[in-house]
Amino acid sequence: MNKNIMPPQKRGRLYKVFLILSCAVTVFATTAVAQKRKQYDVAAFLYPAYAYNDPRLRPFWPSGMGEWETVMNMQQRHPGHYWNRRPLWGPINEADPAIMEMEIEQATRHGVNVFIFDWYWYDGRPFMETTLTDGFLKAGNRDKMKFYLMWANHDVVNTWDTRISNLDPENVIWRGGVDRQEFERLCRRNIEMFFKRPEYYKIDGKPVFMIYDVNSFVKGIGGVEQATDAFKWFRKEVKKAGFPDLELQFALFNMQFNYSGLDKEEKKRPEDSFMKKMGFNSFTHYQFCHFVWMDADYGDIMKNVTKEWARIDSMYTMPYYPHISIGWDNSPRIVRSAQVKNNTPAAFAKALRQARDYVDAHPKLTPLITINSWNEWTETSYLEPDTKYGYGYLSGGNQTGFQGIISICLLVSLLLNGNFSPGPQVWGEN
């Protein structure tokens, strides 16, 4: 026996030491780069309908599992239609703080650090709020994630209920508009209940509040002048609460206003001038389907999206935060829908890089990117892992510079221990 040959066990130990030291060096180097790297806020819209035992959801989804009822019962709608995807985590209860802790952990691991909660107010009270109040705000790790509200103030129609969606799809169940008294009541509630929380997302100390349907708000409140006055009041109340100001944001789509009466100078950018006068500070999109044709290849869609970004730069002076949608197919709610083609994780990662490049080209802009969405399963636009691509969409952030050094450490953990799992137990596996 050659005494100079190292025993296998000792070689193995030395190999592990080598791996650990290599990781340490890599982490140190990566950290140094990350400190110089621009930090981005990546905000995913979160649809709160995947909550169990919420009594206000029962009329639409009587099983008690929220809109998972629609997702889990979904089948191919017509020949050539693809919809055999299911949630990899199963039909989870997102109003459960333990579930939300897992989601926060997975989101932040993959570079998503803000949830924009679709927030509803119908019939004089909040609707579908338990995902936020019982889930997110009770999660033990909520300090890792910021959140803000997008008031989804559109009308509720029959398409929410697949049992009756084909009977009279435009039948209005609840109106999204509110009068001034109702507006003041919900604003005071949100300031006290949400804005004052340390987890609430702020830009330069200003809490961000987004309005989905400006037309609906103007109609409900009684007109443009009334809307403008209501926003002035809202801003004063936010300042009274101790904040420097309000960051009032709107979703850009379907703007139908009369710009008459604006002076000659303002007519160069009438939309910009009009929205500023009304009281808005910034805007983004909610979904690609609001401004581009979606029954197309994802690459072609992105060409039209970047054209829209260029148009926005020419039409608006207020900040625009670039938006990326993952896909579109709302067949789970209706019989037939436009369907995005080839929206692979790789295509999505490329789109994210384009959004990052837009932010980098606007250095005075808060580095915020919005994504549709975390969990819009019935519109087939989600980051949550599914049975088709696994964690593919979530991993898209890793390819764009939004992810830090975590992947390196996870790799070493896997090499040394052989037992690392990137997420919770996969639905359907033992």
Residue 405, pLDDT > 90, answer: no
Structure confidence at residue 172 (pLDDT): 80
Distances, alpha carbon 92 to alpha carbons 15, 51, 111, in Å: 41, 8, 22
Structure confidence at residue 7 (pLDDT): 61
- Could you tell me the pTM of the whole model? 0.84
Structure confidence at residue 397 (pLDDT): 54
Distances, alpha carbon 141 to alpha carbons 102, 146, 149, in Å: 9, 11, 19
Segment among 59-68, 87-96, 137-146, 414-423 with least mean pLDDT: 414-423
Structure confidence at residue 330 (pLDDT): 87
Q: Compute the CA torsion angle 393, 252, 174, 334 (nearest 10 deg).
A: -50
**36-417: CATH number:** 3.20.20.80
Structure confidence at residue 259 (pLDDT): 45
Confidence of residue 267 (pLDDT cuts 50, 70, 90): low
Segment among 111-125, 231-245, 330-344 with least mean pLDDT: 330-344
DSSP alpha helix (H) spans, 168-297: 180-190, 214-221, 224-240, 270-278
Residue 42, pLDDT > 90, answer: yes
Both tokens assigned to 95? 């109003």
Residue 48, pLDDT > 90, answer: yes
Residue 430, pLDDT > 50, answer: no
**Pairing state between β 156-157 and 172-174:** antiparallel
pLDDT digits (tens, 9 = 90+) for 169-178: 667 888 899 9
Structure confidence at residue 424 (pLDDT): 35
Mean pLDDT on 117-142:
97
Share of the chain above pLDDT 70, in %: 77
Mean pLDDT on 368-381:
96
Mean pLDDT on 385-391:
95
Q: Compute the CA torsion angle 256, 189, 47, 127 (nearest 10 deg).
A: -90
Residue 283, pLDDT > 80, answer: yes
Contact criterion met (CB below 8 Å) for 227 and 178: no
CA 168 to chain CA mean position, Å: 30
